[in-house]
Protein backbone atom coordinates (compact mmCIF):
# COMPACT_ATOMS: atom_id res chain seq x y z
CA UNK A 1 0.00 0.00 0.00
CA UNK A 2 2.85 2.40 0.81
CA UNK A 3 4.48 1.98 -2.62
CA UNK A 4 1.18 2.70 -4.33
CA UNK A 5 0.64 5.83 -2.25
CA UNK A 6 4.16 7.04 -2.97
CA UNK A 7 3.82 6.36 -6.72
CA UNK A 8 0.62 8.39 -7.00
CA UNK A 9 2.30 11.23 -5.11
CA UNK A 10 5.31 11.24 -7.46
CA UNK A 11 3.16 11.16 -10.59
CA UNK A 12 0.99 13.99 -9.28
CA UNK A 13 4.04 16.18 -8.52
CA UNK A 14 5.56 15.59 -11.97
CA UNK A 15 2.79 17.62 -13.61
CA UNK A 16 2.65 20.54 -11.15
CA UNK A 17 4.52 23.84 -11.21
CA UNK A 18 7.62 24.06 -9.00
CA UNK A 19 7.08 25.36 -5.47
CA UNK A 20 10.20 27.55 -5.54
CA UNK A 21 11.14 30.65 -7.54
CA UNK A 22 13.95 30.65 -10.06
CA UNK A 23 15.98 33.28 -8.20
CA UNK A 24 18.21 35.09 -9.51
CA UNK A 25 16.76 34.49 -12.99
CA UNK A 26 13.27 35.54 -11.88
CA UNK A 27 13.58 38.51 -9.52
CA UNK A 28 11.80 38.49 -6.17
CA UNK A 29 8.99 40.97 -5.53
CA UNK A 30 9.99 43.36 -2.74
CA UNK A 31 7.48 44.56 -0.20
CA UNK A 32 7.56 47.91 1.59
CA UNK A 33 9.03 46.52 4.82
CA UNK A 34 11.54 44.16 3.18
CA UNK A 35 14.97 44.23 4.79
CA UNK A 36 17.39 43.49 2.01
CA UNK A 37 20.90 44.65 2.82
CA UNK A 38 22.76 47.48 4.51
CA UNK A 39 23.78 50.42 2.31
CA UNK A 40 26.12 53.26 3.24
CA UNK A 41 26.54 56.87 2.16
CA UNK A 42 30.33 56.84 2.53
CA UNK A 43 30.62 60.62 2.07
CA UNK A 44 28.51 61.24 5.20
CA UNK A 45 30.31 58.63 7.34
CA UNK A 46 32.61 59.92 10.11
CA UNK A 47 34.10 56.43 10.76
CA UNK A 48 33.18 56.48 14.45
CA UNK A 49 32.85 52.67 14.61
CA UNK A 50 29.53 52.64 16.51
CA UNK A 51 28.00 50.40 13.84
CA UNK A 52 30.76 47.80 14.12
CA UNK A 53 30.52 47.74 17.93
CA UNK A 54 26.72 47.31 17.82
CA UNK A 55 26.72 44.58 15.12
CA UNK A 56 25.85 41.27 16.86
CA UNK A 57 27.64 39.11 14.26
CA UNK A 58 30.74 41.27 13.71
CA UNK A 59 29.99 41.69 10.02
CA UNK A 60 30.99 45.37 9.91
CA UNK A 61 34.54 46.65 10.08
CA UNK A 62 35.62 50.29 10.36
CA UNK A 63 39.17 51.60 9.92
CA UNK A 64 39.32 55.26 10.90
CA UNK A 65 42.93 55.86 9.78
CA UNK A 66 42.41 54.39 6.31
CA UNK A 67 38.89 55.91 6.03
CA UNK A 68 37.52 52.47 5.17
CA UNK A 69 34.19 50.81 5.97
CA UNK A 70 33.51 47.17 5.07
CA UNK A 71 30.79 44.60 5.54
CA UNK A 72 30.74 40.84 5.09
CA UNK A 73 27.37 40.32 3.44
CA UNK A 74 26.91 36.66 4.39
CA UNK A 75 27.59 37.36 8.09
CA UNK A 76 25.01 40.18 8.20
CA UNK A 77 21.63 39.10 9.58
CA UNK A 78 19.79 42.31 8.51
CA UNK A 79 18.83 43.16 12.09
CA UNK A 80 19.16 46.92 11.44
CA UNK A 81 21.02 47.57 14.72
CA UNK A 82 23.79 49.42 12.86
CA UNK A 83 21.26 51.65 11.08
CA UNK A 84 19.60 52.62 14.36
CA UNK A 85 22.84 53.45 16.19
CA UNK A 86 24.56 55.48 13.41
CA UNK A 87 24.91 59.11 14.63
CA UNK A 88 25.15 60.57 11.10
CA UNK A 89 22.34 58.36 9.68
CA UNK A 90 24.56 57.37 6.75
CA UNK A 91 23.46 53.71 6.93
CA UNK A 92 20.15 52.48 5.53
CA UNK A 93 18.38 49.24 4.68
CA UNK A 94 17.78 48.82 0.94
CA UNK A 95 15.16 46.65 -0.72
CA UNK A 96 17.70 44.48 -2.55
CA UNK A 97 19.26 41.17 -1.73
CA UNK A 98 22.89 40.16 -1.94
CA UNK A 99 23.54 38.19 -5.11
CA UNK A 100 24.17 34.48 -4.59
CA UNK A 101 27.84 33.47 -4.54
CA UNK A 102 30.01 30.50 -3.69
CA UNK A 103 32.27 32.23 -1.19
CA UNK A 104 32.24 35.07 1.28
CA UNK A 105 31.16 38.47 -0.05
CA UNK A 106 32.94 41.44 1.50
CA UNK A 107 32.11 44.92 0.25
CA UNK A 108 34.74 47.56 0.99
CA UNK A 109 34.05 51.31 0.79
CA UNK A 110 36.70 54.05 0.91
CA UNK A 111 36.11 57.74 1.60
CA UNK A 112 36.86 60.06 -1.30
CA UNK A 113 39.84 62.36 -0.99
CA UNK A 114 39.02 65.92 -2.10
CA UNK A 115 40.80 67.07 -5.28
CA UNK A 116 41.26 70.67 -4.18
CA UNK A 117 44.21 70.16 -1.83
CA UNK A 118 46.49 73.24 -1.48
CA UNK A 119 49.92 73.08 -3.10
CA UNK A 120 52.91 73.32 -0.80
Query: Does residue 23 lie within any of the structural domains?
Result: no
Q: Assign residue 93 the CATH number of its domain.
A: 3.30.70.3270
Query: Does residue 98 lie within any of the structural domains?
Result: yes
Query: Does residue 46 lie within any of the structural domains?
Result: yes
User: Is the separation of the CB atoms in 114 and 67 below 8 Å?
Assistant: no
Question: So what's the pLDDT on residue 63?
Answer: 95
Tens of pLDDT along the chain (120 residues)? 577 788 888 888 888 887 777 766 777 777 777 777 899 999 999 999 999 999 999 999 999 999 999 999 889 998 999 999 999 999 998 887 777 777 888 899 998 876 665 555
Query: Does residue 6 lie within any of the structural domains?
Result: no
Q: Which domain holds residue 62?
A: 31-110
Q: Which DSSP string do the residues of 39-86 spell out, in sequence order?
A: EE-TTT-----HHHHH-SS--EEEETTTTEEEEETTT-----HHHHH-
Query: Does residue 3 lie within any of the structural domains?
Result: no
Question: So what's the pLDDT on residue 14?
Answer: 86
Among 46, 51, 28, 48, smallest CA distance to 98 is for: 28
Total number of domains constituting the chain: 1
Amino acid sequence: MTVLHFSTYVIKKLFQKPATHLYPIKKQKFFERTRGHVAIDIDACIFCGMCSRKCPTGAIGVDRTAKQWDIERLKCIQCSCCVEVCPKKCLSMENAYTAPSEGSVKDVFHARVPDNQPDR
